[in-house]
Amino acid sequence: MNILLVEPFLGGSHRAFMEGLQRYSRHRIFTVTMKGSHWKWRMSGGAVTLAEKTGAIREDIDLVFASSMTNLPAFIALTNPRFAHVPTVLYMHENQLTQPVPESEERDITYCYINYLSVLAANYVFFNSNFHKKTFLDALPGLLARFPDYQQSESLGRIAAKSDLLYPGLDLKVFDEAVQKRRLRRPNQRPVIVWNQRWSFDKDPEKFFRVIDKLDDAECAFDLILAGDHHHDHAELFEQAWKRYGSRILHYGFVENTDVYSDLLQKGDFVVSTSQHEFFCTAIMEAVYCGCHPILPRDLTYPELIPRTLQEPLLHGPVFYDDETDLFRKMKKLLDGTYKRLPLPTLQSVNRDLDWSRIIEKYDDMFERIRTDFSRHQEEG
């Protein structure tokens, strides 16, 4: 099959997803992309540039696979009639209807409505987690209710019927050398706590550092690795942490190089999330694969990704916490050795099946199934 991958925001997890799909799929993947910046402009105006770029692709396309930043109706219209009889798939990395916004900002429903129109126009819609799918579908009635008339609420059933789950692939094999290094090295003298997520408000770094400060006040011994994309807000919190914990911070700042990043993760003992919202959680999954015991909120997307047998293990420390007080209590016991960390083989079993080499068959089979189903429906009229 010839598959056209449409990505107006080629950055971060979107780039990793596209590159993994290209590298591992048995099908031919053609791409039209734009730089991963100015996301509002990508959603509102990117379809014009993306449609123009399709002119350079001469091959016949069997399926269009677009990311959630795509204004799909605009793209289809601007490329008409080329893809009029080709199935369109929309992959929801995120959405603007349930993505948190800072308290100082008001949600712009323009982009929410672009998401709505895109899922309505697509023949098939896939979400990167059940949590994402459920919260988006639950929020759609409220979006349509904001409009004075012709709310088209009957469209919600059609959208739900064509929506499904498909976890993103992860390139976990790039961490294998670092994992082997972890197996051979000595345990850390002090436990190492990892933060490898974005430095942004929706990850709630304030909560993270409140708990870290309380643990320090309680004379818990630990070191810190503060990685993650810091081109966001709240960098001042990390700067304050540098002043307080400088000698105990093993790394500070975003890491571009995969080998360096892998080496940092294998040095960690715990990875902590204080997120207010997660559509998936690539960074956490990478740290877990590298041997970091996760400490996660008992909601969002995490419960569907952590096996039930590990959610409250009998012989090892807990994975989930209920609130900030519970997070402090459980981390204290993990740091002082009252709770034992999950062993490396167990942690690697959590998400090994999400590696692209294993999950790609689901994608490739899905592409072929959609082409067959779409052709049959076209013939049936």
Q: What is the mean pLDDT of residues 268-293?
A: 96
Residue 166: C-alpha distances to residues 127, 159, 169 (Å): 6, 16, 9
266 and 363 both lie in a single domain: no
Look-up: residue for tokens 């034992």?
340
Buried b (16+ CB within 10 A) or exposed e, 30-41: bbbbbebeebee
Taken in order 87, 88, 92, 98, the sign of the CA dihedral is negative
Report the domain count for the chain. 2
Residue 108's pLDDT is: 96
Q: What is the pLDDT of residues 122-136, one digit of tens each?
A: 999 999 999 999 999
Radius of gyration from C-alpha coordinates of the chain: 22
Look-up: residue for tokens 């893809």?
83
Residue 360 has pLDDT above 90, yes or no: yes
Residue 47 has pLDDT above 60, yes or no: yes
The more confident residue out of 12 and 114 is 114
Closest to 177 (Cα-Cα) out of 185, 189, 166, 169: 185
329 and 339 both lie in a single domain: yes
324 and 367 both lie in a single domain: no
100 and 181 both lie in a single domain: no
Instruction: Give the 3-state secondary structure of residue 255.
Output: coil
Residue 214's pLDDT is: 98
Environment class of 16 (CB within 10 Å of its CB; exposed 0-12, middle 13-18, buried 19+): middle
Residues 215/335, Cβ–Cβ less than 8 Å? yes
296 bridge partner residues: 320
Q: Cα separation of 54 and 129, whole Å?
A: 30
183 and 318 both lie in a single domain: yes
Look-up: residue for tokens 């997120």?
275
Residues 167/359, Cβ–Cβ less than 8 Å? yes
Task: Give the lowest-confidence range in 269-283, 290-304, 309-323.
Answer: 309-323
Environment class of 282 (CB within 10 Å of its CB; exposed 0-12, middle 13-18, buried 19+): buried
Look-up: residue for tokens 């053609």?
30
Q: What is the mean pLDDT of residues 29-52?
A: 97
Cα three-residue angle 340-341-342, rounded to 5 degrees: 120
Percent of the chain scoring above 90 in pLDDT: 88
348 and 271 both lie in a single domain: yes
Q: What is the mean pLDDT of residues 38-48?
A: 97
Residue 198 has pLDDT above 70, yes or no: yes
54 and 193 both lie in a single domain: no
321 and 223 both lie in a single domain: yes
Q: What is the mean pLDDT of residues 300-309?
A: 93
Taken in order 231, 233, 239, 244, the sign of the CA dihedral is negative
Residue 9 has pLDDT above 60, yes or no: yes
Query: What's this model's pTM, rounded to 2 decimal places?
Result: 0.94
Residues 74/113, Cβ–Cβ less than 8 Å? no
157 and 269 both lie in a single domain: no
57 and 152 both lie in a single domain: yes
Domain containing residue 136: 2-170+355-380
Task: Find the CATH number of the domain harbouring 12.
Answer: 3.40.50.2000
Buried b (16+ CB within 10 A) or exposed e, 47-78: beebbeebeeeeeebbbbbbbbbbbbbbbbeb
44 and 60 both lie in a single domain: yes
67 and 157 both lie in a single domain: yes
The chain-wide mean pLDDT, for the chain, equals: 95
Residue 237's pLDDT is: 81
Residue 133's pLDDT is: 98
